[in-house]
Amino acid sequence: MKNKTLRFIFLTPVIIYTFCLIVLPLLYILTISFFKSDFYGGMIYDFTLENYKELFNFVYLRIFVNSILIALVTTLICILISYPFVLAISHKSKKIQQIIMTLVMVPFLTNSLIRMYGWIVLLRKSGAINELLLNFNIIDNPLSLMYNNIGIIIGMVYTFIPFMILPLYNSVSNIDKYTLEAASDLGASKIKRFLNIILPQTLSGLFNGAIMVFTPALGCFFIIDILGGGKVMILGNLIKNQFLTARNWPFGAAISVFLILLTTILILIYKKIGGKMDDLGGI
Amino acid sequence: MKNNKIIDNLCIFLVFSFLFLPILVIILFSFNTSSLNIVFEGFTFDWYKELFNNKTLLEALYNTLIVAFVSTIISTIIGTISAYALKKYNFPFKNIILELLYIPIVIPEIVLGISLLAIYTLFKLELGLFTLILAHICFSIPFVIINVRSVLDNMDPNIEKAASDLGASKLKTFFYVVIPTILPGILSGAQLALTLSLDDVVISYFTAGPGSNTLPLHVYSIIKTGVTPDVNALITIMLLFVFVILTISTIINLKRLRRM
């Protein structure tokens, strides 16, 4: 076979894939975000900026702020749990480290919805956690642990925490052990070692995890549906409703474009601080 | 130092309890005699038998497996060829394509889901197994490419040269020299594609049609009315499979670690 034919055969799939399944769908979403909706599920092919103006409507601004707050709190809690955990693992032998990291992945290889269901069983008024606390007389009345922000945050942290643990673990295991030893030999306190050595060297891993937790948290409608009890709305539910219930595709597309822009900005910052694209998500 | 160790272990223990608690609940209730998932009343294997009478559940499982296997095989083949081609050949707009390939990884899933739904509607594709498989191929390929590329980057270029010096054609070199060398990368890419596909909710929600209900979508539809224990039983069986596969791959990895 000639080299040119071979080159053609090898390159065609990736070019077709990129064009048909990435570029075309996203360009189409961008296009319809400038169309008008006829409110019956159809679109009027007239150029308009109405959908983008609608984004600044007070009702939607509140949903934006709410989503960003929920995603931010989720990201922060993931960081607060993952850092001590990852540092604790890094003190173990290589063999144990590998076993622990494999075990960490086990829950995430099961159905994510069934895991949410596990949380319902634990968190509801008659659930295991409330029963336990009542039995030991720690509380007098069952706590509301779901159908509110607490439930949502637990569900979000639980779903996205591996995306924080993995990149953070990778960057912590790259820290030179001798630098840390030298620092403590020279009298640096734990906090100083963390701020001056560990934090700077794991910054790109940290930001990597933050992106992979924050952005999906903005769009993850099912956690909100299941643990939020229909009282809370985030961008993901809004987009889902515009496409499936309200059938106002142009407006749904405009919100999606906003999400794409937000993601792009975060990625650019990540690249600026020296993060590599291939490391995203700790894969 | 001893104090530190206790804190380390406590920290690992707490995170593990958080991670495994909901899973343990599911496993526990799959053996419960009551069907209400509220209190544990007694031990039974009945739900594991019941499972095989639940037609909707079995159909969802069947669809999930079909979609996962077909999309994994196709995306692994395309991803492997593409990773190789992108390393080997230069062509106009190559850098742009390299950047675009990250989009399915970083973009919120819902955006990918609705944009695929929109394009399916535009081309009047009827939603069903085909559109679902196409969507899963769409989000899997970049993960395969990244995994294969990381192995390709470490491959000694002289191996390929040696093969062609000895008279192997380019195609033969690819199949008999390159593929066996990068096999670990291909396998880890395929494993990732498979797990992503088995668990996907958001993208499937928009790209599946009537009759192509997958297991995650089925659970989503029954979660508010209450999950029956036979679903717990099915998940427990699947978890056992995952655990066996992971144990095998960890043992292999540990052996490799020892050799280094």
Amino acid letter at A274?
Answer: G
Token look-up 């090898």 returns A10
Neighboring chain B residues of A25 at a CB cutoff of 8 Å:
112, 115-116, 118-119
Minimal C-alpha gap between B1 and chain A (Å): 11
Cα gap B239→A52, rounded to integer Å: 45
Domain-located, residue B122:
yes
Q: What is the pLDDT at residue B37?
A: 65
B119, part of any domain: yes
Tell me whether residue B67 is in a domain: yes
Q: How confident is the model at residue A281, as a pLDDT? A: 60
Interacting residues of B4 by C-beta distance below 8 A, sequence separation 6+: A91
d(CA A131, CA B102): 46
Residue ranges, chain B, pLDDT below 70 = 1-3, 35-39, 257-260
- C-alpha atoms less than 13 angstroms from C-alpha of A275 in its C-beta half-sphere: 28
Chain A contacts of B12, Cβ < 8 Å?
A: 85, 88-89, 100
What are A202's two structure tokens?
Answer: 């794991």
Q: What is the Cα–Cα distance from B144 to B75, expressed in whole angstroms?
A: 7
pLDDT tens, position by position, A76-126:
999 999 999 999 998 888 888 888 888 888 887 777 888 888 888 888 887
Alpha-carbon distance of A251 to A51, in angstroms, equals 5
Question: Residues of chain A with pLDDT > 70: what percent?
Answer: 98
What average pLDDT score do residues A226-239 get? 86
Residue B175 in any domain: the answer is: yes
Q: Does B84 touch chain A (CB under 8 A)?
A: yes
- Whether residues A98 and B101 touch (CB distance < 8 A) is answered with no
The pLDDT score that the predictor gives to residue A43 is 81
Residue B37, SS3?
coil
Question: Residue B25 falls within a domain, yes or no?
Answer: no
Residue A283's pLDDT is 57
**For the stretch B65-100, what's the b/e string if a residue is b when 16 or more beta carbons lie within 10 angstroms of its beta carbon?**
eebbebbbebbbebbbbbbbbbebeeeeeeeebeeb
Instruction: Decide if A113 and B201 are in contact by the 8 Å CB cutoff.
Output: yes
Domains of chain A by residue range? 1-25, 33-282
Percent of residues in chain A assigned helix, strand, coil, to nearest 5: 75, 0, 25
What is A33-282's CATH number? 1.10.3720.10
A177 within 8 A of A193, measured Cβ to Cβ: no
Q: How far apart are CA B144 and CA B11, in angstroms?
A: 34
Q: Compute the average pLDDT of residues A176-200.
A: 81
Whole-number pLDDT of residue A113: 83
Domain at B175, CATH number: 1.10.3720.10
**Helix B109-122 and helix A199-219: axis angle, to 10°?**
40
**How confident is the model at residue B42, as a pLDDT?**
75
Q: Who among A89, A107, A120 is closest to B20 (CB)?
A: A107
Averaged pLDDT of chain A? 87
Q: Which residues, 6+ apart, have CB-to-CB distance to A7 below 8 Å?
A: B85, B89
Tokens at A131, concatenated: 């029963």
- The count of structural domains within chain B is 1
The minimal CB distance from A283 to the residues B26, B111, B143 is found for B143
- What separation in angstroms does the CA of B1 have from each of A87, A91, A143, B5? 15, 11, 39, 7
CB B228 within 8 Å of CB B55: no
CA distance A195 to A199: 5
Task: Specify whether the CB–CB gap between B170 and A3 falls below 8 A.
Answer: yes
Task: Indicate whether B40 belongs to any domain.
Answer: no
- Residue of B76, B48, B51 whose CA lies nearest to B141: B76
Structural domain boundaries, residue B142: 55-227
